[in-house]
Structure 1
Amino acid sequence: MEPETTRSALRDFCAERLGTDLAADFVRLARPGFELTEADPGEAAGHSRFGGRAMLEPGTPWPMCDGFPLSLIAVLDTGALAPWLGDVLPAGTGLLNFFYLDTDSQQCDPASYELAMKYHSFDAQLGRVIAARSAHAVETDPPARSSVFDPVDWAAKPGFDFPDTWDPIWRTLDLGPKVDDLARAMPGQYVKEQLTDWSSRPGALVTDDMAFGWPKFPTGSSPMVPWGEDPTLYHHLLQLSGQDEWYIGGEGGWMHWSIPTDALPTGDFSRAIPTPDMW
Protein backbone atom coordinates (compact mmCIF):
# COMPACT_ATOMS: atom_id res chain seq x y z
CA MET A 1 0.00 0.00 0.00
CA GLU A 2 0.98 3.63 -0.49
CA PRO A 3 1.92 5.70 2.61
CA GLU A 4 -1.36 7.60 2.99
CA THR A 5 -3.48 4.52 2.31
CA THR A 6 -1.48 2.62 4.91
CA ARG A 7 -1.77 5.44 7.45
CA SER A 8 -5.56 5.55 6.97
CA ALA A 9 -5.84 1.78 7.46
CA LEU A 10 -3.61 2.05 10.55
CA ARG A 11 -5.87 4.75 12.00
CA ASP A 12 -8.93 2.52 11.50
CA PHE A 13 -7.13 -0.44 13.10
CA CYS A 14 -6.27 1.62 16.18
CA ALA A 15 -9.71 3.25 16.42
CA GLU A 16 -11.35 -0.19 16.76
CA ARG A 17 -9.21 -0.87 19.82
CA LEU A 18 -8.61 2.55 21.39
CA GLY A 19 -11.61 4.62 20.33
CA THR A 20 -11.54 7.42 17.79
CA ASP A 21 -10.03 10.21 19.91
CA LEU A 22 -7.18 8.24 21.50
CA ALA A 23 -6.43 6.50 18.18
CA ALA A 24 -6.07 9.84 16.41
CA ASP A 25 -3.74 11.09 19.14
CA PHE A 26 -1.76 7.85 19.05
CA VAL A 27 -1.40 7.65 15.26
CA ARG A 28 -0.09 11.21 15.37
CA LEU A 29 3.08 9.64 16.84
CA ALA A 30 3.56 7.32 13.84
CA ARG A 31 6.71 7.98 11.84
CA PRO A 32 7.77 6.44 8.53
CA GLY A 33 10.49 3.89 9.07
CA PHE A 34 12.32 1.19 7.15
CA GLU A 35 13.11 -2.38 8.16
CA LEU A 36 16.72 -3.00 7.11
CA THR A 37 17.68 -6.52 6.06
CA GLU A 38 20.45 -8.01 3.94
CA ALA A 39 19.43 -7.51 0.32
CA ASP A 40 19.11 -10.21 -2.29
CA PRO A 41 20.85 -9.42 -5.60
CA GLY A 42 19.14 -6.48 -7.29
CA GLU A 43 16.97 -5.65 -4.24
CA ALA A 44 19.19 -3.12 -2.46
CA ALA A 45 17.69 0.27 -1.53
CA GLY A 46 20.03 2.26 -3.74
CA HIS A 47 23.45 2.60 -2.07
CA SER A 48 22.10 1.73 1.41
CA ARG A 49 24.44 -0.63 3.24
CA PHE A 50 26.30 -1.51 6.38
CA GLY A 51 30.07 -1.03 6.14
CA GLY A 52 32.14 -0.58 3.03
CA ARG A 53 33.67 2.75 2.12
CA ALA A 54 32.16 6.16 2.71
CA MET A 55 30.25 7.83 -0.14
CA LEU A 56 31.45 11.44 0.07
CA GLU A 57 31.66 14.40 -2.25
CA PRO A 58 35.27 15.12 -3.37
CA GLY A 59 37.01 17.44 -0.95
CA THR A 60 34.84 16.51 2.05
CA PRO A 61 37.07 16.20 5.14
CA TRP A 62 37.07 12.82 6.86
CA PRO A 63 35.50 13.16 10.33
CA MET A 64 37.91 13.07 13.25
CA CYS A 65 37.84 12.95 17.05
CA ASP A 66 40.85 14.70 18.56
CA GLY A 67 42.77 13.96 15.35
CA PHE A 68 41.77 10.26 15.37
CA PRO A 69 39.66 9.09 12.39
CA LEU A 70 36.13 7.84 12.93
CA SER A 71 34.97 4.72 11.08
CA LEU A 72 32.26 4.50 8.44
CA ILE A 73 29.50 2.31 9.88
CA ALA A 74 26.68 2.65 7.34
CA VAL A 75 25.25 4.54 4.36
CA LEU A 76 21.58 5.36 3.78
CA ASP A 77 20.38 6.31 0.30
CA THR A 78 17.50 8.67 1.07
CA GLY A 79 16.59 8.93 -2.61
CA ALA A 80 15.54 5.27 -2.54
CA LEU A 81 13.48 5.92 0.62
CA ALA A 82 11.92 9.21 -0.50
CA PRO A 83 8.39 8.02 -1.43
CA TRP A 84 7.71 7.05 2.20
CA LEU A 85 9.77 9.75 3.91
CA GLY A 86 7.56 12.50 2.49
CA ASP A 87 8.66 15.86 3.91
CA VAL A 88 10.80 14.42 6.73
CA LEU A 89 13.92 15.45 4.79
CA PRO A 90 14.46 18.24 2.25
CA ALA A 91 14.41 17.15 -1.38
CA GLY A 92 17.79 16.12 -2.76
CA THR A 93 19.30 15.10 0.59
CA GLY A 94 21.01 12.19 -1.17
CA LEU A 95 23.30 9.86 0.79
CA LEU A 96 23.79 9.89 4.56
CA ASN A 97 27.12 8.52 5.84
CA PHE A 98 27.12 7.38 9.49
CA PHE A 99 30.41 7.44 11.40
CA TYR A 100 31.43 6.42 14.91
CA LEU A 101 34.63 5.78 16.82
CA ASP A 102 35.35 2.04 16.55
CA THR A 103 36.61 0.75 19.90
CA ASP A 104 35.23 -2.79 19.83
CA SER A 105 35.79 -4.59 16.53
CA GLN A 106 38.71 -6.92 15.93
CA GLN A 107 40.30 -4.39 13.60
CA CYS A 108 40.01 -1.30 15.81
CA ASP A 109 43.16 0.64 16.61
CA PRO A 110 44.17 0.05 20.27
CA ALA A 111 44.44 3.81 20.83
CA SER A 112 40.73 4.27 20.15
CA TYR A 113 39.65 2.84 23.50
CA GLU A 114 41.79 5.26 25.51
CA LEU A 115 40.43 8.14 23.43
CA ALA A 116 36.82 7.02 23.97
CA MET A 117 37.33 7.04 27.74
CA LYS A 118 37.58 10.84 27.59
CA TYR A 119 33.97 11.15 26.40
CA HIS A 120 30.45 10.04 27.20
CA SER A 121 29.28 7.42 24.69
CA PHE A 122 26.75 9.92 23.27
CA ASP A 123 29.21 12.80 22.92
CA ALA A 124 28.92 14.47 19.53
CA GLN A 125 32.70 14.12 19.02
CA LEU A 126 32.38 10.32 18.79
CA GLY A 127 30.01 10.24 15.83
CA ARG A 128 29.06 12.14 12.69
CA VAL A 129 26.46 12.04 9.95
CA ILE A 130 27.66 13.49 6.65
CA ALA A 131 25.32 14.06 3.71
CA ALA A 132 26.46 13.82 0.09
CA ARG A 133 24.60 14.62 -3.11
CA SER A 134 24.06 11.35 -4.95
CA ALA A 135 25.28 12.65 -8.32
CA HIS A 136 28.57 13.87 -6.80
CA ALA A 137 29.37 11.21 -4.19
CA VAL A 138 32.24 8.78 -4.74
CA GLU A 139 33.60 5.90 -2.69
CA THR A 140 36.28 7.37 -0.46
CA ASP A 141 39.20 5.49 1.07
CA PRO A 142 39.58 6.10 4.82
CA PRO A 143 42.72 7.38 6.48
CA ALA A 144 44.98 5.07 8.44
CA ARG A 145 43.60 3.71 11.76
CA SER A 146 39.98 3.90 10.55
CA SER A 147 38.18 0.53 10.39
CA VAL A 148 36.62 -0.72 7.15
CA PHE A 149 33.87 -3.31 7.55
CA ASP A 150 32.78 -5.78 4.88
CA PRO A 151 29.82 -4.19 3.04
CA VAL A 152 26.33 -5.65 3.43
CA ASP A 153 23.77 -4.18 1.04
CA TRP A 154 20.41 -3.40 2.63
CA ALA A 155 16.87 -3.90 1.44
CA ALA A 156 14.47 -1.42 3.05
CA LYS A 157 10.86 -2.40 3.76
CA PRO A 158 8.74 0.72 4.52
CA GLY A 159 6.06 1.09 7.16
CA PHE A 160 5.08 3.17 10.19
CA ASP A 161 6.92 2.98 13.47
CA PHE A 162 5.89 3.96 17.01
CA PRO A 163 7.84 4.96 20.12
CA ASP A 164 9.42 2.44 22.44
CA THR A 165 7.43 1.80 25.61
CA TRP A 166 9.95 3.84 27.60
CA ASP A 167 10.16 6.82 25.28
CA PRO A 168 9.34 10.13 27.05
CA ILE A 169 7.14 11.21 24.11
CA TRP A 170 4.33 9.14 25.66
CA ARG A 171 3.87 11.91 28.21
CA THR A 172 2.33 14.04 25.45
CA LEU A 173 -0.50 11.55 24.84
CA ASP A 174 -3.96 12.32 26.23
CA LEU A 175 -5.41 9.05 27.57
CA GLY A 176 -8.71 10.62 28.56
CA PRO A 177 -10.31 11.05 32.00
CA LYS A 178 -11.24 7.43 32.75
CA VAL A 179 -7.85 5.71 33.02
CA ASP A 180 -6.28 4.90 36.40
CA ASP A 181 -3.04 6.18 37.92
CA LEU A 182 -1.03 3.17 36.72
CA ALA A 183 -2.02 3.87 33.12
CA ARG A 184 -0.99 7.51 33.51
CA ALA A 185 2.33 6.44 35.00
CA MET A 186 3.02 4.02 32.13
CA PRO A 187 1.04 5.33 29.14
CA GLY A 188 3.09 3.39 26.59
CA GLN A 189 2.42 0.10 28.31
CA TYR A 190 -1.29 0.92 28.71
CA VAL A 191 -1.81 1.72 25.02
CA LYS A 192 0.08 -1.35 23.82
CA GLU A 193 -2.08 -3.57 26.07
CA GLN A 194 -5.23 -2.24 24.39
CA LEU A 195 -3.90 -2.90 20.91
CA THR A 196 -4.65 -6.59 20.46
CA ASP A 197 -3.07 -8.24 17.40
CA TRP A 198 -0.62 -5.34 17.25
CA SER A 199 1.81 -7.31 15.08
CA SER A 200 -0.83 -7.57 12.33
CA ARG A 201 -1.39 -3.80 12.05
CA PRO A 202 -1.13 -2.12 8.61
CA GLY A 203 2.41 -0.94 7.93
CA ALA A 204 3.90 -3.06 10.71
CA LEU A 205 7.68 -3.05 11.09
CA VAL A 206 9.29 -5.79 13.16
CA THR A 207 13.05 -5.33 13.09
CA ASP A 208 16.10 -4.61 15.20
CA ASP A 209 17.79 -2.63 12.41
CA MET A 210 15.80 0.47 11.46
CA ALA A 211 16.18 3.56 9.31
CA PHE A 212 14.25 6.60 10.61
CA GLY A 213 11.13 5.66 12.63
CA TRP A 214 11.72 5.69 16.42
CA PRO A 215 14.65 4.32 18.44
CA LYS A 216 14.18 1.22 20.60
CA PHE A 217 15.86 0.74 23.98
CA PRO A 218 16.57 -2.82 25.17
CA THR A 219 17.83 -1.41 28.47
CA GLY A 220 14.43 0.13 29.19
CA SER A 221 15.86 3.63 29.13
CA SER A 222 15.31 6.54 26.74
CA PRO A 223 17.35 8.44 24.11
CA MET A 224 20.85 9.29 25.31
CA VAL A 225 21.03 12.95 24.33
CA PRO A 226 23.37 15.59 25.79
CA TRP A 227 22.69 16.50 29.41
CA GLY A 228 19.84 18.92 29.89
CA GLU A 229 18.41 18.53 26.37
CA ASP A 230 14.88 17.31 25.68
CA PRO A 231 14.93 13.93 23.85
CA THR A 232 11.45 14.58 22.44
CA LEU A 233 12.98 17.35 20.29
CA TYR A 234 15.14 14.86 18.37
CA HIS A 235 14.31 12.77 15.30
CA HIS A 236 15.72 9.27 14.87
CA LEU A 237 17.92 8.52 11.85
CA LEU A 238 19.37 5.00 12.18
CA GLN A 239 19.37 2.07 14.61
CA LEU A 240 21.75 -0.90 14.46
CA SER A 241 21.34 -3.77 16.88
CA GLY A 242 24.74 -5.22 15.98
CA GLN A 243 26.62 -6.81 13.10
CA ASP A 244 28.94 -9.80 12.91
CA GLU A 245 31.98 -7.53 12.73
CA TRP A 246 30.93 -4.66 14.94
CA TYR A 247 29.04 -4.17 18.19
CA ILE A 248 28.67 -0.98 20.16
CA GLY A 249 29.78 -1.60 23.73
CA GLY A 250 31.45 -4.91 22.89
CA GLU A 251 28.97 -7.78 23.13
CA GLY A 252 25.99 -5.62 24.04
CA GLY A 253 24.26 -2.44 23.09
CA TRP A 254 22.36 -0.92 20.19
CA MET A 255 23.68 2.00 18.20
CA HIS A 256 21.56 4.99 17.19
CA TRP A 257 22.08 8.33 15.51
CA SER A 258 19.58 11.18 15.95
CA ILE A 259 19.24 14.81 14.96
CA PRO A 260 17.43 17.84 16.46
CA THR A 261 14.07 17.99 14.71
CA ASP A 262 14.51 21.65 13.86
CA ALA A 263 17.66 20.78 11.85
CA LEU A 264 15.80 18.49 9.46
CA PRO A 265 14.02 21.06 7.25
CA THR A 266 17.38 22.53 6.20
CA GLY A 267 19.25 19.23 6.17
CA ASP A 268 21.81 20.42 8.72
CA PHE A 269 23.35 17.05 9.52
CA SER A 270 26.30 18.70 11.25
CA ARG A 271 23.97 18.74 14.29
CA ALA A 272 23.33 14.98 14.22
CA ILE A 273 24.73 13.06 17.19
CA PRO A 274 25.26 9.45 18.28
CA THR A 275 22.56 8.34 20.76
CA PRO A 276 23.58 4.78 21.73
CA ASP A 277 21.84 2.45 24.17
CA MET A 278 24.47 0.42 26.04
CA TRP A 279 24.56 -2.21 28.72
Structure 2
Amino acid sequence: MDHKTSLAELRDSCAEHLRPELAGRVADLVRPGFELVPAAPGQATGHSRFGGNAMLEPGVPWPTCEGLPLSLLAVLDTDALPPWLDGLLPPGTGLLNFFSLDIESDQADPAAWDVTRRVGHCAPELGQVVAARSRLAVETEPPATASSFAPVAWTAVPGFVFPDRFDDAWDALDPDFGPDHEDVAEFKDGMLNDFRVPGSLLSDDMAFGRPIYPTGGGPVLPEGEDLQDHHHLLQLSDRHEWSIGGDGGWMHWSIPTDALRAGDFTQAMPTPDIW
Protein backbone atom coordinates (compact mmCIF):
# COMPACT_ATOMS: atom_id res chain seq x y z
CA MET A 1 0.00 0.00 0.00
CA ASP A 2 1.32 3.48 -0.84
CA HIS A 3 1.65 6.17 1.79
CA LYS A 4 -1.25 8.32 0.50
CA THR A 5 -3.70 5.42 0.69
CA SER A 6 -2.43 4.42 4.12
CA LEU A 7 -2.72 7.99 5.39
CA ALA A 8 -6.29 8.22 4.09
CA GLU A 9 -7.21 5.04 6.00
CA LEU A 10 -5.59 6.45 9.12
CA ARG A 11 -7.60 9.65 8.84
CA ASP A 12 -10.81 7.65 8.38
CA SER A 13 -10.02 5.66 11.52
CA CYS A 14 -9.44 8.85 13.53
CA ALA A 15 -12.85 10.07 12.38
CA GLU A 16 -14.41 6.88 13.75
CA HIS A 17 -13.01 7.55 17.24
CA LEU A 18 -13.11 11.35 17.46
CA ARG A 19 -15.46 14.19 16.65
CA PRO A 20 -14.98 15.39 13.08
CA GLU A 21 -13.67 18.83 14.10
CA LEU A 22 -10.91 17.18 16.13
CA ALA A 23 -10.13 14.05 14.08
CA GLY A 24 -8.31 15.96 11.35
CA ARG A 25 -6.16 17.86 13.83
CA VAL A 26 -5.15 14.61 15.55
CA ALA A 27 -4.32 12.94 12.23
CA ASP A 28 -2.13 15.93 11.31
CA LEU A 29 0.16 15.04 14.25
CA VAL A 30 1.40 11.79 12.68
CA ARG A 31 4.77 11.57 10.98
CA PRO A 32 5.93 8.90 8.51
CA GLY A 33 8.37 6.41 9.99
CA PHE A 34 9.70 2.88 9.71
CA GLU A 35 9.52 0.01 12.15
CA LEU A 36 12.91 -1.74 12.19
CA VAL A 37 12.59 -5.52 12.52
CA PRO A 38 15.21 -8.27 12.15
CA ALA A 39 15.35 -9.16 8.47
CA ALA A 40 14.70 -12.58 7.02
CA PRO A 41 17.44 -13.79 4.62
CA GLY A 42 17.49 -11.58 1.55
CA GLN A 43 14.91 -9.15 2.97
CA ALA A 44 17.16 -6.46 4.49
CA THR A 45 16.44 -2.84 3.58
CA GLY A 46 19.74 -2.12 1.87
CA HIS A 47 22.56 -1.86 4.41
CA SER A 48 20.22 -1.02 7.32
CA ARG A 49 21.26 -2.83 10.48
CA PHE A 50 22.08 -2.68 14.12
CA GLY A 51 25.80 -3.02 14.89
CA GLY A 52 28.47 -4.29 12.55
CA ASN A 53 31.01 -2.12 10.77
CA ALA A 54 30.44 1.49 9.84
CA MET A 55 29.77 2.45 6.21
CA LEU A 56 31.97 5.49 5.59
CA GLU A 57 33.41 7.24 2.57
CA PRO A 58 37.18 6.79 2.12
CA GLY A 59 39.14 9.38 4.05
CA VAL A 60 36.33 10.20 6.50
CA PRO A 61 37.74 9.87 10.02
CA TRP A 62 36.15 7.69 12.66
CA PRO A 63 34.29 10.05 15.03
CA THR A 64 35.63 10.63 18.53
CA CYS A 65 34.76 12.43 21.74
CA GLU A 66 37.67 13.98 23.64
CA GLY A 67 40.05 11.55 21.96
CA LEU A 68 37.98 8.42 22.58
CA PRO A 69 36.45 6.65 19.57
CA LEU A 70 32.67 6.49 19.48
CA SER A 71 31.00 3.13 18.86
CA LEU A 72 28.89 2.34 15.80
CA LEU A 73 25.39 1.38 16.92
CA ALA A 74 23.42 1.38 13.69
CA VAL A 75 23.40 2.06 9.96
CA LEU A 76 20.29 3.33 8.19
CA ASP A 77 20.19 3.05 4.39
CA THR A 78 17.92 5.94 3.42
CA ASP A 79 18.31 5.26 -0.31
CA ALA A 80 16.67 1.86 0.19
CA LEU A 81 13.74 3.10 2.29
CA PRO A 82 10.28 3.03 0.71
CA PRO A 83 9.28 6.52 -0.54
CA TRP A 84 7.21 7.56 2.48
CA LEU A 85 9.16 10.58 3.74
CA ASP A 86 7.62 12.97 1.19
CA GLY A 87 10.65 15.13 0.44
CA LEU A 88 11.94 15.28 4.00
CA LEU A 89 15.40 14.08 2.91
CA PRO A 90 17.47 15.45 0.02
CA PRO A 91 17.79 12.94 -2.84
CA GLY A 92 20.82 10.70 -2.53
CA THR A 93 21.23 11.16 1.23
CA GLY A 94 22.61 7.62 1.33
CA LEU A 95 23.75 5.89 4.49
CA LEU A 96 23.45 7.30 8.00
CA ASN A 97 25.90 5.93 10.57
CA PHE A 98 24.81 6.37 14.19
CA PHE A 99 27.61 6.60 16.74
CA SER A 100 27.62 6.92 20.53
CA LEU A 101 30.20 6.77 23.31
CA ASP A 102 29.70 3.37 24.95
CA ILE A 103 29.83 3.48 28.74
CA GLU A 104 27.67 0.51 29.72
CA SER A 105 28.34 -2.57 27.60
CA ASP A 106 30.88 -5.24 28.54
CA GLN A 107 33.22 -3.76 25.93
CA ALA A 108 33.13 -0.18 27.21
CA ASP A 109 36.44 1.60 27.72
CA PRO A 110 36.65 2.58 31.43
CA ALA A 111 37.94 5.99 30.36
CA ALA A 112 34.58 6.68 28.71
CA TRP A 113 32.99 7.10 32.14
CA ASP A 114 35.40 9.90 32.98
CA VAL A 115 34.55 11.71 29.75
CA THR A 116 30.81 11.28 30.29
CA ARG A 117 30.93 12.58 33.83
CA ARG A 118 32.97 15.56 32.66
CA VAL A 119 30.73 16.62 29.74
CA GLY A 120 27.39 15.33 31.14
CA HIS A 121 25.27 12.31 30.19
CA CYS A 122 23.21 14.30 27.69
CA ALA A 123 26.03 16.25 26.01
CA PRO A 124 25.59 16.30 22.20
CA GLU A 125 29.27 15.48 21.65
CA LEU A 126 28.69 11.97 23.06
CA GLY A 127 27.25 10.91 19.72
CA GLN A 128 27.38 11.69 16.01
CA VAL A 129 25.51 10.85 12.83
CA VAL A 130 27.83 10.53 9.84
CA ALA A 131 26.31 10.42 6.35
CA ALA A 132 27.93 8.58 3.44
CA ARG A 133 26.97 8.51 -0.22
CA SER A 134 25.94 4.97 -1.11
CA ARG A 135 28.13 4.71 -4.21
CA LEU A 136 31.25 5.69 -2.24
CA ALA A 137 30.66 4.07 1.16
CA VAL A 138 32.82 1.14 2.21
CA GLU A 139 32.75 -1.04 5.31
CA THR A 140 35.07 0.44 7.90
CA GLU A 141 36.24 -1.51 10.92
CA PRO A 142 36.23 0.27 14.29
CA PRO A 143 39.37 1.32 16.15
CA ALA A 144 40.64 -1.16 18.70
CA THR A 145 39.17 0.66 21.72
CA ALA A 146 35.69 1.16 20.25
CA SER A 147 32.93 -1.31 21.07
CA SER A 148 31.80 -3.54 18.22
CA PHE A 149 28.37 -5.17 18.26
CA ALA A 150 27.18 -8.18 16.29
CA PRO A 151 25.30 -7.04 13.18
CA VAL A 152 21.53 -7.58 12.94
CA ALA A 153 20.13 -6.73 9.50
CA TRP A 154 16.87 -4.77 9.48
CA THR A 155 13.77 -4.68 7.33
CA ALA A 156 12.15 -1.23 7.43
CA VAL A 157 8.34 -1.45 7.57
CA PRO A 158 6.68 1.87 6.67
CA GLY A 159 3.79 3.48 8.51
CA PHE A 160 2.77 6.55 10.49
CA VAL A 161 3.65 7.39 14.08
CA PHE A 162 1.45 9.29 16.52
CA PRO A 163 3.09 11.31 19.30
CA ASP A 164 3.61 9.39 22.51
CA ARG A 165 0.95 10.11 25.12
CA PHE A 166 3.53 12.19 27.04
CA ASP A 167 4.78 14.09 23.97
CA ASP A 168 4.34 17.88 24.05
CA ALA A 169 3.19 17.67 20.43
CA TRP A 170 -0.33 17.12 21.76
CA ASP A 171 -0.23 20.68 23.10
CA ALA A 172 -0.96 21.84 19.57
CA LEU A 173 -4.54 20.68 20.17
CA ASP A 174 -5.07 22.95 23.20
CA PRO A 175 -7.28 25.48 21.39
CA ASP A 176 -9.64 22.64 20.43
CA PHE A 177 -9.74 20.76 23.69
CA GLY A 178 -12.73 22.22 25.54
CA PRO A 179 -15.32 19.47 25.79
CA ASP A 180 -13.11 17.25 23.62
CA HIS A 181 -10.28 16.99 26.15
CA GLU A 182 -11.51 13.65 27.52
CA ASP A 183 -12.02 12.36 23.99
CA VAL A 184 -8.37 12.94 23.14
CA ALA A 185 -7.15 11.33 26.36
CA GLU A 186 -9.32 8.30 25.66
CA PHE A 187 -8.00 8.15 22.09
CA LYS A 188 -4.36 8.22 23.26
CA ASP A 189 -4.97 5.44 25.78
CA GLY A 190 -6.98 3.43 23.28
CA MET A 191 -4.16 3.45 20.72
CA LEU A 192 -2.03 1.52 23.21
CA ASN A 193 -4.60 -0.71 24.88
CA ASP A 194 -7.80 -1.18 22.90
CA PHE A 195 -7.32 -0.62 19.20
CA ARG A 196 -4.72 0.01 16.52
CA VAL A 197 -5.23 2.77 14.02
CA PRO A 198 -4.69 1.30 10.52
CA GLY A 199 -1.34 2.36 9.12
CA SER A 200 0.07 3.45 12.49
CA LEU A 201 3.26 2.08 14.02
CA LEU A 202 4.19 1.42 17.63
CA SER A 203 7.67 -0.07 17.66
CA ASP A 204 10.68 -0.51 19.94
CA ASP A 205 13.16 0.24 17.16
CA MET A 206 12.12 3.06 14.83
CA ALA A 207 13.53 5.23 12.06
CA PHE A 208 12.08 8.72 11.66
CA GLY A 209 8.47 9.01 12.87
CA ARG A 210 8.27 10.15 16.49
CA PRO A 211 9.94 8.79 19.65
CA ILE A 212 8.11 6.83 22.30
CA TYR A 213 8.65 7.63 25.99
CA PRO A 214 9.07 4.35 27.88
CA THR A 215 9.87 6.12 31.14
CA GLY A 216 7.43 8.99 30.73
CA GLY A 217 10.39 11.35 30.53
CA GLY A 218 11.31 11.10 26.86
CA PRO A 219 14.39 12.09 24.84
CA VAL A 220 16.59 14.77 26.42
CA LEU A 221 17.75 17.74 24.34
CA PRO A 222 20.38 20.28 25.34
CA GLU A 223 19.05 23.21 27.34
CA GLY A 224 17.25 25.72 25.17
CA GLU A 225 16.40 23.23 22.41
CA ASP A 226 12.74 22.41 21.67
CA LEU A 227 11.91 18.87 20.55
CA GLN A 228 9.11 20.23 18.36
CA ASP A 229 11.75 22.07 16.28
CA HIS A 230 13.58 18.78 15.73
CA HIS A 231 12.84 15.70 13.69
CA HIS A 232 13.33 12.23 15.09
CA LEU A 233 15.95 10.14 13.29
CA LEU A 234 16.33 6.84 15.14
CA GLN A 235 15.14 5.06 18.26
CA LEU A 236 16.89 2.02 19.73
CA SER A 237 15.30 0.18 22.62
CA ASP A 238 17.03 -1.31 25.64
CA ARG A 239 16.66 -4.84 24.34
CA HIS A 240 19.96 -4.79 22.51
CA GLU A 241 23.34 -5.94 23.85
CA TRP A 242 24.31 -2.39 24.75
CA SER A 243 22.86 0.06 27.26
CA ILE A 244 23.32 3.70 28.14
CA GLY A 245 22.12 3.16 31.71
CA GLY A 246 19.45 5.04 33.63
CA ASP A 247 15.93 3.80 34.19
CA GLY A 248 15.16 3.91 30.47
CA GLY A 249 18.31 2.90 28.64
CA TRP A 250 16.69 3.85 25.33
CA MET A 251 18.63 5.79 22.72
CA HIS A 252 17.34 8.41 20.29
CA TRP A 253 18.91 10.72 17.77
CA SER A 254 17.27 13.95 16.63
CA ILE A 255 18.12 16.75 14.24
CA PRO A 256 16.76 20.28 13.67
CA THR A 257 14.16 19.93 10.94
CA ASP A 258 15.75 22.62 8.76
CA ALA A 259 19.11 20.82 8.98
CA LEU A 260 17.46 17.53 8.00
CA ARG A 261 15.88 19.04 4.91
CA ALA A 262 19.28 20.50 3.98
CA GLY A 263 21.06 17.19 4.56
CA ASP A 264 23.30 18.69 7.25
CA PHE A 265 23.76 15.75 9.62
CA THR A 266 26.56 17.50 11.49
CA GLN A 267 23.70 19.06 13.50
CA ALA A 268 22.23 15.67 14.49
CA MET A 269 22.63 14.79 18.15
CA PRO A 270 21.96 11.96 20.60
CA THR A 271 18.88 12.58 22.73
CA PRO A 272 18.88 9.68 25.21
CA ASP A 273 16.01 8.71 27.46
CA ILE A 274 17.75 8.25 30.83
CA TRP A 275 14.91 9.32 33.12
Contact 1:73 1:98 in 2 (8 A): yes
1:7-59 CA-to-partner distances (Å, cap 9, x unmatched) read 01111110121122211111111111111111110111110000001000011
Counterpart for residue 11 of structure 1: 11
Whichever residue aligns with residue 249 of structure 1, its letter is G
Counterpart for residue 37 of structure 2: 37
Structure 2 residues without counterparts, runs of 5 or longer: none
Which of 212, 219, 229 is 2:208 aligned to?
212
1:195-217 CA-to-partner distances (Å, cap 9, x unmatched) read 69864322122321111110111
TM-fit CA distance, 1:232: 0.8
Secondary structure at the counterpart of residue 224 of structure 1 = coil
Contact 2:52 2:150 in 1 (8 A): yes
Contact 1:241 1:254 in 2 (8 A): yes
Which of 235, 253, 259 is 1:257 aligned to?
253
Looking at structure 1, the residues matched to 16 and 248 of structure 2 have their Cα atoms a distance apart, in angstroms, of: 38
| 2:274 is aligned with 1:278 | yes
CA gap of 1:215–1:142, structure 2 versus 1, over 3 A, is: same
CA gap of 1:80–1:188, structure 2 versus 1, over 3 A, is: farther
Which consecutive aligned stretches of 4+ in structure 1 deviate over 4 angstroms post-superposition?
A: 193-198
Aligned residues with identical type, % of pairs: 56
CA gap of 1:230–1:168, structure 2 versus 1, over 3 A, is: same
Secondary structure at the counterpart of residue 11 of structure 2 = helix
Counterpart for residue 268 of structure 1: 264
Looking at structure 1, the residues matched to 184 and 266 of structure 2 have their Cα atoms a distance apart, in angstroms, of: 32
Secondary structure at the counterpart of residue 12 of structure 2 = helix
TM-fit CA distance, 1:230: 1.4
| 2:64 is aligned with 1:64 | yes
Counterpart for residue 21 of structure 1: 21
Secondary structure at the counterpart of residue 264 of structure 1 = helix
Secondary structure at the counterpart of residue 36 of structure 1 = strand
Counterpart for residue 149 of structure 1: 149
Instruction: Give TM-score, length-normalised by structure 1.
Output: 0.92
Structure 1 residues without counterparts, runs of 5 or longer: none
Whichever residue aligns with residue 204 of structure 2, its letter is D
- How many residue pairs match? The answer is 275
Looking at structure 2, the residues matched to 246 and 196 of structure 1 have their Cα atoms a distance apart, in angstroms, of: 27
Looking at structure 2, the residues matched to 8 and 139 of structure 1 have their Cα atoms a distance apart, in angstroms, of: 40
Cα RMSD, aligned residues only = 2.1
| 2:129 is aligned with 1:129 | yes
Looking at structure 2, the residues matched to 93 and 196 of structure 1 have their Cα atoms a distance apart, in angstroms, of: 33
Counterpart for residue 104 of structure 2: 104
CA gap of 1:32–1:150, structure 2 versus 1, over 3 A, is: same
